[in-house]
Amino acid sequence: MKVLTVSIFVLVLACLPAAAMAQALWRNVDYGMTKSQVATAQPSARPSTEKESLRNGATCDLAIDNQMVADRPFRACFYFLNTKLHQVTLSAQSPATKEDLDAVLRAVVDQYGDALSVQDTGDIYDGTWSIGSDVRFSVFYANIGGTGGMMNLVYQSAAGQ
């Protein structure tokens, strides 16, 4: 009887639609979505004019400007690998300051709790959070020279790392 129950459970899982098991990365976009699915889920997404790519070959094919995080504007970039959504990165649209980082971190900790890991030298910050069991979220900030730096917020599938 136990074998039959396990077999039925496995069969039911196999029949679930892929969307039911999808990993939500950011807002209502899921890891593995196609460009058209992301564009439908995020109607303000437009083809990226800047051809950015990651080391693994994923390219930013869709983007949305002026996504506010802690009252600061970020550009959301949807990276696709082999035609499937691989990662969502939000990049500060203006030079980021330590005060910007602090405001973003307060919002992140309020939403996700304490970081799993943090490396902070003052000029460089790299923190990682777990969102559920499926998504890794990172904040990266660098301000070398003190004139304003860059800040990225990265949503990535734990399976896709």
Q: What percentage of the chain has pLDDT greater than the value 70?
A: 85
Determine the pLDDT at residue 61: 97
Sheet containing strand 124-131, strands side by side: 46-47, 59-69, 72-81, 84-92, 150-157, 135-142, 124-131, 117-120
User: Predicted confidence band at 48 (pLDDT cuts at 50, 70, 90)?
Assistant: very high
Is pTM beyond 0.85? Reply is no
Average pLDDT, integer, range 128-144: 93
pLDDT tens by residue, 13-26? 333 344 345 688 99
Contact 42, 64 (CB under 8 A): yes
Place of tokens 């004139």: 147
**pLDDT at 94 > cutoff 90:** yes
pLDDT tens by residue, 65-75? 999 999 999 99
Residue 69: which of 122, 105, 31, 118 has the closest Cα? 105
Kindly report the average pLDDT of the chain as a whole number: 87
Determine the pLDDT at residue 3: 44
pLDDT tens by residue, 102-119? 999 999 999 999 999 999
Determine the pLDDT at residue 7: 37
